[in-house]
Structure 1
Amino acid sequence: MENREVFLNGQIRKAGQANLALVWGIIRECAEDLSNKGFTHWSKYYRESLVARMLEKKDVYLWGEVGTMTMGLELPWYYSKEDINCFSEAERPGICISALAVRPDCQNAGIGGKLVDFAINHAKQRGIEWVRLDCRLIPSLERFYKNMGFNEVGRMYEGNDDEEVYLLMEKRVDAGG
């Protein structure tokens, strides 16, 4: 990507339907990159139509033109009761992060961390104590979220013979401000 430094110094802004092509492009690039590494879960799940619904129904944020993240107050529909019960105080509201994506050529530059920090601060400002997420069991992802202060509270298994393992993670934040 040309002018990488310009893109890395972006700002977080809320995305709308007018940003569909950009958000979908970031997610699609990340899905292709993951597929090339043997992880096809994003390629199987994300479609442009799903991203359009995310923009319509959830809070989607952009970091410049290289990163995106979705936040919502509800746990994902695909969580089983057993999955939900893994979370501390599961009955209490929490910010749920999903679809955190940074263009492959801009990864490892701190953008993902800035998006997660934004979600944590968003929770604090609203008096919400929990930030929750799930992520594929990939060592670099696990390290990233643990370094951000998230704790593993459970695991989800999908696919034939449960070969796809996802970590359920959460972080308690000081909701006092």
Structure 2
Amino acid sequence: MGSYRDDADGAAITLNSDGTGTYVMANPTQADIHDQLTWKKEKNNYIINLNDSNYDTPIDARLNEDNLSLVGNDEWPNQSFKRVHGDFDVDNFLKEQHAKTSSSTTKDTHSKESSTHARAALKKWASDHHKDTNKIDNLKATTDLSEPDEGWAFVDDNGTEYAIVRNGKVYPRPVIDGGTSSN
């Protein structure tokens, strides 16, 4: 199958021909994610199962030429990867990602990493509370809060705030919690 990288999220995935593989993600504030996985082809898609107690839902993956897309679900955000041609070493990839993020500002590093996880936490909360999870993919994640480390605010195109996610905890706003608009 091959190796694929997502430099925007600092993630990479390797799919071996025997149905095994590895998923890694550089994390500037905590331990890197380094999960073993299994995969199988099902019709035109692939089903990926991470050997990770935090994510037990199978992830749908689609391969289109050199692009591998992981399709988001209640526990996992959408991710897009580009095929790596030639040899690929996940440990070198992680070092490269850390070198890249350490040269940017701390806020940017924290923001880039945590928005993906904050969106996944918001989708899980929405699913658990029987809310429309499809809408969450279209919300913008912003850190324009009174305190920069307060978390992520998720807003629509009109600037209406739907929720704040702070350290994985969701603080819904009336527009999402009550299901009505506050405009």
TM-score, normalising length from structure 1?
0.29
Q: Higher strand proportion, which one? A: 2
Larger radius of gyration: 2
Return the structure number with greater relative CO, CA threshold 8 A, min gap 6.
1
